[in-house]
Structure 1
Amino acid sequence: MLFSSLSAARETTLTVFCSGGLMGVLQQLAPAWQQRSGVRLQIESAPSMGSTPQSIPQRLAHHQQADVLVMVDDGIKPLVEHKWVSLNNRVPLANSYVALAIPAGKKKPDISTPDKLKAVLLKAHHVAYSDSASGRYVSESLYKKLGIERQMAAKSEMIPATPVGKIVASGKADVGFQQLSELQVVKGITVVGLIPDSLQKTTLYSAIPLDNSAHPSQARDFIHYLSSAHVASIIRQKGMSPLNQQTN
């Protein structure tokens, strides 16, 4: 019976739709999880929000199958309304923070205060931000707080699907905003740092199983593992704050 159970585990693959903020974390933990559990992970990049075909809402609307979602918490409620997930199964994982990046080789600006950040943005020729949580905050709140909505309208661009860091690295934008954890993994850019505390937007990332998962037990086990001390250390390495840390 034990041999049969282990064989079944090794044949199981969990499909995880993961938004960019925690993608680096999942990629790093995958080997340890697979060795520990015998369950393979298929991790697919999927923005938490938006209308691109890659986004979690669109994937689910088109009946793409998954077992676990790792995503911006604010994006979960619409999925509950569609009866794809159950809110009581949601597990908060980490708080993430908005950072600013520039092309590699450019002089690093000072963004330590709201006024200094404002000056950098007014001087910029083209500013890019994502079509998910951080980008919506920049376009709907940050510019307003800085009093530069009108000045930034013509030179700002919301980027669907593609990581903002790649747009900055290509030279198509001289300033980019995204979650720190997403910018850290992109080559060809310099992460200037987090935006000032008084302007910062904390984004909560959570994990939740799909109600129609083919592997509900393994999905629950994986989400429990995401709250382990081992994973918490990886989350910290990526510039985020882990939540609900388990002892094992």
Structure 2
Amino acid sequence: MTLESREVDAIMGICSMAMRHVLAELGAAYERQAGQPVDIVSVGGIDAARRVGNGEAFDFVVLADDAIERLASAGCVDPKSRTDLARSAVAIAVAAGAKRPDVSSESALRDAVLRARSIGYSTGPSGAHIVRLFERWGIAETIASRVVQAPPGIPVGTLVAQGDVELGFQQLSELMHLPGIEVIGLLPAEIQVATVFSAAVCTASKSRAAAKALLSFLASPEADAAKRHHGMEPV
């Protein structure tokens, strides 16, 4: 939903793309349960943080925990309201029907990256981890001309489905619902990184009590099944 469609009594939130599916499901469930309308805008994490930082009239924000910490330090969210919601792992995808490279170990994945025609990653936490991984492997310069960073708000899987990227890396929750691609596995355990997504009430909110009640629901056991359904683990 958009700002223009906001109802007067709705709780208005903004989140990164990784959380859009789970929050859409849980927001609808909360609306049915509590009778409280919930509107959530899903954009790239960088844009979401910028908009909250600029003081847009959101009641709550859901982002990677380090982004929430920065917003709290800047006085843009209430640090006492911070609520950890879910943990997400990084996955690997290829186009539907494409050859599935071996990604079962760190060495196998490194070889797959070196052989790939093009490699895609995001501007979010998973992308930062992948960049560090390429540097640690000593291949960053070798593959530099074949690396594609998806623009904020554009899933890496979209580039994979379009044929712009052969091997894509992003949060599992962002890849698993996209048509035209196949998730071939998670990063091997020895190089996996889990991003914790957290929520907080914005200081610009005029409905803080209602926003806090929603965050309590999002962190409750009632929300666990939806999180797992969308590729995340409850915290």
How far apart are 1:88 and its partner, in Å? 2.1
The runs of 5 or more residues in structure 2 that have no matched partner are 1-6
1:188-208 deviations in Å (ceiling 9; x for gaps): 110111010001111111011
The superposition leaves residues 10-69 of structure 1 with CA deviations (integer Å, 9 ceiling, x where unpaired) of 9511111111222110112222111111111111113223xxxxx123213443211111
Residue aligned with 1:154, SS: helix
Please tell me whether the aligned partners of residues 93 and 227 of structure 1 are also in contact (alpha carbons under 8 angstroms).
Answer: yes
Match of 1:80 in 2: 72
Residue 145 of structure 2 corresponds to which residue in structure 1?
Answer: 154
TM-score of the pair, normalised by structure 1: 0.87
Q: CA RMSD in A?
A: 1.5
Quick check: which has more Rg, 1 or 2? Answer: 1
Structure 1 segment 137-216 matched on structure 2, within 5 A: 137-139=129-131, 141-161=132-152, 162-216=154-208
Counterpart pick for 1:64 among 23, 35, 56: 56
Alignment of 1:106-145 (within 5 A): 106-139=98-131, 141-145=132-136
Matched with 1:94 is 86
Amino acid at match of 1:157: V
* Distance in structure 2 (CA, Å) of the matches to 1:11 and 1:81: 30
Query: Is the 8 Å Cα contact of residues 11 and 39 (structure 1) preserved in structure 2?
Result: no
User: Would you say 1:222 and 2:214 are equivalent positions?
Assistant: yes
SS of corresponding position for 1:212? coil
2:20 aligns with: 23
Q: Which moved more, 1:97-106 or 1:144-153?
A: 144-153
Residue type matched to 2:139 in 1?
I
Question: What's the CA shift for 1:170?
Answer: 0.7
Q: In the alignment, which of 37, 41, 44 is matched to residue 38 of structure 2?
A: 41
Asked if structure 2 preserves the Cα contact closer than 8 Å seen for 1:134 and 1:179, the reply is yes
How far apart, CA to CA, are the structure 2 residues paired with 1:88 and 1:220? 10
- The one-letter code matched in structure 1 to 2:126 is S
Q: Distance in 2 between matches of 1:61 and 1:17?
A: 12
Q: Which amino acid aligns with 1:150?
A: E
Normalised TM-score (structure 2): 0.92
Three-state SS of the structure 2 residue aligned to 1:99 is strand
2:231 and 2:171 map into 1 onto residues whose CA distance is 9
How many pairs align?
Answer: 228
